[in-house]
Amino acid sequence: MLFFDSHSHVNSSYFNDDADEVLRRAINNGVATVLVGTDYKSSKKALDMVSRYHSGIYAAVGLHPDEIFDHHEKINGVDTLVKGELFNADLYQQLGKFPSVVAIGEIGLDYHKPEASIEELKKIKQAQKEVLIKQLVLAVKLKLPVIFHCRQAHDDLIKILEDFRKEYRAYLPTDRAWGVIHCFSATETIAWQYFNLGLVISFTGLITFSQQWDSLIRKMPEDKLLIETDSPFMTPEPYRGRRNEPVLVKYVANRIAQIKNWDIEKLAQLTTTNAKRLFKIN
């Protein structure tokens, strides 16, 4: 049985010591994954790592909305100031041309900035929107699907995607989704707005310790459902508090199978088919 973890960051510094061990463990347990970039360095690293595997490990390249600005990050357990990255379309285009790249991502909007002033937040929002649109255009150019990150910004993201879809309709696929809202944690109404835009949604370990999305999961169309770990974050029950990794996607799958009253095999097969169709993997 194959599980498809549609979103992980085994290419991040959280796995500096044992990335290959973690990916081998995934492969040996029948788990495929997409290594998702958040900046140029991690995007390039995803590509380098993928080249070491025969199959089952894929790459996505993109600039995350939080990486545009200076921010603090834990690197090897040490709180480090990371400089913001200026988006360079040419550099990402070079990466995106490699056949192992299956998506542009993760890109999007993140308005969760509790320390920013109103003026600062205004600037942040504007800059994030500009970088998002540039990357949407790049995805169209490269004919790649998009992995979206969205936190406290769904209204703005939906507005941008509606406009984008109007303008680029002729270039977007009609027989499959053109993007995924990863780590979905919004309302049912918002989920349906994304479905109507031709997108699918992906669930993390969040749903293993909350019942908030049970009703949506029960009702939503089968072909719009993906699963992911978002490793090293969003660790599912019963491993909460530990670093997450792709093999643990089984716990997300189990929880959904339980909600839908399905065999785990059916859930695994369906979500794998959906992920492969989105990322155009044979």
Cβ–Cβ < 8 Å for 37, 59: yes
Q: How far is the CB of 234 from Zn ion (least distance, A)?
A: 9
Cβ–Cβ < 8 Å for 93, 138: yes
Q: How far is the CB of 4 from Zn ion (least distance, A)?
A: 15
Select 228 or 260, whichever has its Cβ closest to Zn ion: 228
DSSP code for 54: S
Residue nearest to Zn ion (CB): 149
Select 41 or 262, whichever has its Cβ closest to Zn ion: 41
* DSSP code string of 115-181: T--HHHHHHHHHHHHHHHHHHHHHHHHHT--EEEEEES-HHHHHHHHHHHHHHHGGGS-SSS-SEEE
Select 184 or 257, whichever has its Cβ closest to Zn ion: 184
Residue 241 half-sphere exposure toward CB, CA atoms < 13 A? 2
Q: Would you tell me which residues interact with Zn ion (CB under 5 A)? A: 106, 149, 230
Is the link from the previous residue into 173 a cis peptide, with omega within 30 of 0?
no
CA 119/CA 104 separation, integer angstroms: 30
Distances (CA, A) of 176 to 2, 28, 198, 210: 21, 29, 8, 30
Q: How far is the CB of 36 from Zn ion (least distance, A)?
A: 5
Q: How far is the CB of 7 from Zn ion (least distance, A)?
A: 6
Select 43 or 260, whichever has its Cβ closest to Zn ion: 43
Select 200 or 257, whichever has its Cβ closest to Zn ion: 200
Q: How far is the CB of 183 from Zn ion (least distance, A)?
A: 5
Select 107 or 177, whichever has its Cβ closest to Zn ion: 107
CA 21 from centroid of its chain's CA atoms: 22
